Amino acid sequence: MSQHTSFWQHLADTLTATDKLVLLLVVHSQGSSPGKAGTKMFLTEQGKSFGSIGGGAVEQRLLRMARILLDDNQYSPQLIHQQHQPEAVQDASGMICGGEQTLLLYVCQMRDKELLRQVAAHPSGLLMFSPAGLQWHHEMELAAPFQFSYRSETDWFYQENLASQRQAFIVGGGHVSLALSKILATLDFDITVIDERDNPDTLARNHYAQKKLRIPYREIRKTIPEGNQVLSLS
């Protein structure tokens, strides 16, 4: 990935080199679930993955399901409902963290490549998934970052406001910050690294951050905004 390439750009570039891949996207999350709404990754026919939807055994099980879609040439969007409750009978994930999730498995094909390239080139607007497939409305926006509506397996939609990119502020520009920036870049965060030192080597090598700020730590309160789409790490 060069400098900072968005998730959608990386997906479009990868799709150019392969016939198809599976996008795994968390469309709804409630409670203590691994991977919140908007979290995404993809799996290629060659078995390579990019991004994460929470890791662990649940992610591996979903990757196996994605592999089956690729092997069986299944192209219909698939919704996977998961209950992370010890007493759950239906849609039990085997986890006991107490939340619930709905995930989308969407097979991207060559016909989606041009649309995905437009999304990557103009990262604003409204991206929509439904049983009919993938749509992008570049002149529309949601008030909220995400919206998921479900009535039945054949009547649902997920919308993501691309203009509302999640922000990550990392305090400190050392080795841990560099490694963390690389991970957050795969999750499509807009990354800002803050350090009060004069250009440490690890900060200079951090090509994943969009912004690098040199300010005293005592002044960072003025720099980091509040909001549900903001992640602050130190």
Q: Domain limits of the chain?
A: 7-161, 167-233
Position 1 scores a pLDDT of: 37
CATH of domain 167-233: 3.40.50.20
Structure tokens at 178: 């560099």
User: Would you say 199 and 214 are in contact if contact means Cβ atoms under 8 Å apart?
Assistant: yes
CA pair distance 71, 57, nearest whole angstrom? 21
CA pair distance 133, 80, nearest whole angstrom? 16
pLDDT, mean of residues 65-75: 92
Would you place residue 231 in the very low, low, confident or very high pLDDT band (cuts 50, 70, 90)? low
User: Would you say 15 and 113 are in contact if contact means Cβ atoms under 8 Å apart?
Assistant: yes
Alpha helices in the chain (DSSP H): 7-16, 56-71, 113-121, 175-186, 201-204
The phi, psi pair for 95, rounded to 5°, reads -95, 160
Range with the lowest mean pLDDT among 61-65, 94-98, 110-114, 143-147? 94-98
Residue among 6, 42, 25 nearest 117 (CA): 6
pLDDT, mean of residues 178-207: 85
pLDDT, mean of residues 31-57: 83
CA pair distance 66, 211, nearest whole angstrom? 35
Structure tokens at 19: 């016939």
DSSP code at position 26:
E
Structure tokens at 190: 């807009």
pLDDT at 92 over 70: no
